[in-house]
């Protein structure tokens, strides 16, 4: 079974590299990194009179904004790669020919998930590190915990691709990709609504963000990434105004929430295995 998982992961990586979506992702990433390099280089020229504390706040906000763009590119890529990997092969008959051999369906599913997870995590690591180096070279800012920030961004991509894999066991490739990305966007908007409710002192509205982060942990992991990448002195600098910025996080993630996110991925992957096992090919 282990050999099957590794073989399927390698084949999934090869398939991801072969598809044109990889070139599109690379092009979008290069454009975003180039624009961010130009933008960060203009900070010193346009806001040269900022104090060191204000410069860190500006650098943190813009860095998190660009990182959100990278996380969105990773989400789009992994969601639209996860759809065809099961639903597309089932529709074309490739899955039937492959599973006619003594190959366990769970091993196939786990191998494809592993390959997509390596692909999404690798993209986040390479693109995110390039972005951090650009920020350091242009404005001299280096986040306090870049490893944790990139790990949470990678976990966000893995969470979404797991959801996309579950959807691909039941619906068409296009529908699974659109649904996964739509839920990703809806959860992010719900998180913003929750932040607004928190700043206004409205517990009912604030609860919208909390519930959405439990149902789909992508926005919660994103907030953990923001907290790890922003300057640690920002809460003290902004004080009561801290509720306002949408691209800063108030607190880091608790161990309990990280555990819940890991359990969520395991449960959804297990559910995908059950549905795929029972699917009529």
What does the pLDDT profile of the chain (281 residues) look like in tens digits?
A: 777 778 778 877 777 777 666 777 788 888 888 888 888 777 766 666 666 667 777 788 888 888 888 888 887 787 777 777 766 666 666 666 666 666 677 888 888 889 889 888 988 899 889 989 988 888 888 888 999 999 999 999 999 989 988 888 887 777 888 888 888 888 988 888 888 877 777 788 788 888 988 999 998 999 899 989 888 777 666 665 555 566 778 778 899 999 999 999 999 999 998 888 777 66
Mutual angle of helices 255-278 and 218-229, in 10-degree steps: 140
CA distance 71 to 61: 15
Per-residue DSSP letter, 246? T
User: What was the pLDDT predicted at 241?
Assistant: 53
User: What was the pLDDT predicted at 244?
Assistant: 52
Degrees to nearest 5, angle at CA 101 with 97 and 105 = 85
User: What was the pLDDT predicted at 216?
Assistant: 92
User: What was the pLDDT predicted at 147?
Assistant: 94
User: What was the pLDDT predicted at 270?
Assistant: 92
Q: What is the DSSP string of 102-113?
A: S--HHHHHHHHH
User: What was the pLDDT predicted at 269?
Assistant: 93
Query: Which of 148, 114, 150 lies closest to 1 in space, CA to CA?
Result: 114
User: What was the pLDDT predicted at 48?
Assistant: 63
Spatial neighbors of 109 by CB under 8 A, at least 6 apart, are 86, 165, 269, 272, 273, 276
Q: Domain range for residue 228?
A: 1-278
170-208 b/e (C-beta count within 10 Å ≥ 16 → b): eebbeebbbbbbebbeebbebbeebbbbbbeeeeebbeb
CA distance 124 to 127: 5
The count of structural domains within the chain is: 1
User: What was the pLDDT predicted at 22?
Assistant: 72
**Which residue has 């454009």 as its token pair?**
31
pTM for the full predicted model: 0.86
């Amino acid at each position: 079974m282990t050999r099957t998982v590794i073989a399927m992961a390698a084949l999934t990586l090869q398939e991801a590299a072969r598809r044109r979506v990889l070139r599109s992702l690379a092009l979008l990433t290069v454009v975003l990194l180039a624009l961010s390099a130009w933008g960060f280089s203009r900070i010193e020229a346009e806001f040269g009179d900022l104090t060191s504390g204000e410069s860190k706040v500006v650098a943190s906000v813009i860095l998190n904004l660009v990182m959100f763009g990278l996380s969105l590119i990773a989400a789009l890529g992994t969601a639209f790669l996860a759809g065809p990997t099961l639903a597309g092969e089932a529709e074309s008959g490739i899955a039937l020919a492959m599973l006619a051999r003594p190959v366990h369906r769970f091993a196939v599913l786990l191998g494809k998930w592993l390959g997509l997870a390596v692909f999404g995590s690798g993209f986040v690591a390479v693109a995110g590190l390039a972005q951090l180096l650009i920020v350091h070279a242009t404005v001299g800012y280096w986040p306090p915990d870049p490893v944790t920030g990139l790990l949470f961004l990678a976990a966000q991509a893995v969470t979404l691709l797991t959801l996309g894999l579950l959807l691909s066991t039941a619906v068409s490739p296009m529908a699974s990709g659109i649904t996964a990305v739509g839920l990703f966007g809806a959860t992010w908007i719900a998180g913003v609504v929750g932040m607004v409710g928190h700043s206004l002192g409205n517990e009912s509205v604030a609860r919208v963000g909390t519930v959405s982060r439990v149902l789909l942990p992508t926005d919660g992991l994103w907030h953990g990434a923001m907290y790890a990448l922003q300057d640690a002195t920002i809460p003290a600098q902004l004080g009561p105004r801290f509720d306002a910025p949408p691209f800063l996080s108030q607190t880091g993630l608790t161990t309990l929430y990280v555990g819940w996110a890991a359990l969520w991925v395991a449960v959804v992957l297990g559910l995908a295995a059950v549905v795929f096992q029972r699917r009529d090919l």
